[in-house]
Structure 1
Amino acid sequence: MNTKSATAIINDWPEDSREAAQIVLDTYGEPDEAADSLLIWHKAGPWKRVEASRTFHEHAFPAPHIDSVLSVLDYRVPAEKFTALAQFDGSVIAERTTGELSARCHDEQANFLALNLVHDIVTGNKTVEEARRYYAKEFLDARRGRPTPYMEKLRFAQSSEPTPDADERMLSDKDLERAAAEGQ
């Protein structure tokens, strides 16, 4: 663990990523892990992990902003839904092998919004286009001071079933042994 406090670490960060990290610090306190470029909280709120990074990425959907806070869940995304999720939001990351789903945005509320909509897409409650339109509407409603139910919390129960998907073996031990023998 870095011996500097998280506040001291983020003082050297660019303003955009510093501001986003401060929001997470204000919500969850000191991180479980800290490096000069990354703060990590484990089991913070509903999340498996939250990461605030010095590095930020410019993102234009639904309006220009920066992405530097990653919120991670255990969640199995069916392989046939990966394309839809990529079409929905480029800051949503589904990892099949680890069984993790994450969203990277400016703050936790935007990550709630993105992941709630991902769940709607995965379960067939919204199409990609419907989810994108709803995201834009709720983003504007937040600015207007109107209710934003998808930004308040996760609106689905997390599965108690294992979420990793190790895939299926294609090569036998015999295939591997034969290949190794051919390579000598």
Structure 2
Amino acid sequence: MAASDDPFDLFDRWFADARASEINDPEAMAFATADARGRPSVRMVLLRNAGPEGFGFFTNLDSRKGGELAENPWGALALHWKSLRRQVRAEGPVRQVADTEADAYFKSRSRASRIGSWASDQSRPLDSRETFERRYASLQEKFEGEDVPRPPRWSGFLLVPEKIEFWTDRPHRLHERRLFTRTVDGWDEGLLYP
């Protein structure tokens, strides 16, 4: 397959364009999961790495998405770059990243974000904002002058795509849709009707 027909080469080019043109968060992606009964849920997460191995993000394992991925390790994502009139969609199995990868990314986050990861029981009911702020302040004191380690319940996931679609807006809704489907030997490329 020619380099121009590799979906991750194309993604890298589109992502570079998005970083140059999107005003806010070109790495923001909608990420969908489903529970064991197939009931879907979707939320925005930040894409933190992308390459032939897949699309990665990090989160609290006890969050709703973490729980759903434990029950049903499949996902779908969409990145929409309005300024470019483009979107990328992908779907496939999802796996947790190695602890070393989670540790490395956690250390790259701001100190405040690392403490926030300890303070938040993500997706759980919260009686008041003040409760969370008190918990955060208490953890700031606890970690004063120390490195903030990665909480055991915090890690990353990698969506390993079986399909990747590149959508380009065209006049009169005559959009262009390129679909890459993973095969044993690499990727097959085709088109979809708009």
| Shared fold, TM over 0.5 | no
TM-score band, normalised by shorter chain = under 0.3
TM-score (norm 2): 0.26
The structure in which a higher percent of residues are strand is 2
Q: Which has the higher helix share?
A: 1
